[in-house]
Structure 1
Amino acid sequence: MGLAFSAFGLPGWSSIPTGQVYDQYFKDKKTDTFTDFHLAYVEFCKDFNTVLPGQDFDTPSIDQIRKFYDDTWKKIEGDDAKKKAAFMDFIRKEVSEASVDDSLFIMAGLAAPAGAVVLKKTGQSIPQLKRLDLVPNVLFVPLFTLAAIMGATAVQMKQKSKHP
């Protein structure tokens, strides 16, 4: 079956043996060209990042993948065991857990409750915001805080997608 991913330092995938990963994404697929190999690799990465909600992994650049393909993958002819070992070695070295900057979340979590109270007080004198008085503070403050944290998450995801 193969070793579990946790042995490679990739947390969360300890229940999926490496043999299954290789068999599902590479064993029976045509990977004779870099384009075919890259498509299989992208499919693997997409599923890799969706298995654990909230858990993301930084994957190697296309140049690193191409180097692995040219220097290693192409040179192994027909030996699935060697391809599997080479691929798992590449994954162990090049895939890492995505880093997250928590300061944005902390600032949103600290500032949002005070902002919610200020917004609600301001709403008493502005006709368009008068309806905020209908929502009790017990509901309004946590919902406003949650919306602020979700906004911080969206901003961080947008920034990350701009700078690979």
Structure 2
Amino acid sequence: MGILMSLMGGGLPSSQLLSFVFGTVYKQFIEREINNFDDFHVAILDIFNSFNSALPGKHYDAPSLKEVEAIYKDWKEAKEPEKKKNIFLDFMKKNVNPSKVDDATMITGIVTPPVAMAAKRAGQNVPQLKIIKSIPDVLFVPSMTVMTLMSVKISRRIIMGKIAS
């Protein structure tokens, strides 16, 4: 990989690459018809959805509604297209933040596989759960881990929703 980059002249500098990416994002954004705040908000969410679906691994948190409302006011007041573009690009540079994994999710992801294996071994001795022997470990452990992570995420949303209400 280093040889390839040296043959290409070092590749693109990061500021050039960042400028290219945000320029492309702005073109996608400006091509949409934006008549009101709802259209603006949907366009912003669509951009973050595109980021999250196109880029493997890291996902990015969408900005809060208050942040989008504040930038919409500034963006709408700007008359020149270049000023609108700069406002949008500054907003995206400040608000494209990788989502963070909370401690509960991390601990659950680490603890669940050994617990799933122990539960499968214990369940094989229960007459009502004899069918568990037919499920390969390679399918059982990841499926239990994913189901546990989903239940943790859902329960945290329910709990946080009750606290926020």
Q: TM-score range by the shorter chain?
A: 0.7 to 0.9
- Aligned match of 1:142: 138
Segments of 5+ residues of structure 2 without an aligned counterpart are: 1-14
Q: Among residues 113, 126, 150, which one is paired with 1:109 in the alignment?
A: 113
Contiguous gaps of at least 5 residues in structure 1: 8-15
Task: Normalising by structure 1, report the TM-score.
Answer: 0.73
Alpha carbon RMSD of aligned pairs, Å? 2.5
Aligned partner of 2:149: which letter?
A: T
Aligned residue pairs total 143
2:42 to 17, 31, 39: 39
Equivalence map 1:79-118=2 (5 Å): 79=81, 81-101=82-102, 102-118=106-122
Q: How does 1:17-96 map to 2 (within 5 A)?
A: 17-25=21-29, 27-70=30-73, 72-79=74-81, 81-96=82-97
**Structure 2 counterpart of 1:73, one-letter code:** W
Show the counterpart of 2:129.
129
| Structure number with higher helix proportion | 2
TM-score, normalised via structure 2 length: 0.72
In structure 1, distance between residues paired with 2:80 and 2:137: 61
Stretches of 4+ aligned residues off by more than 6 angstroms: none
Percentage of matched positions with identical amino acids: 27
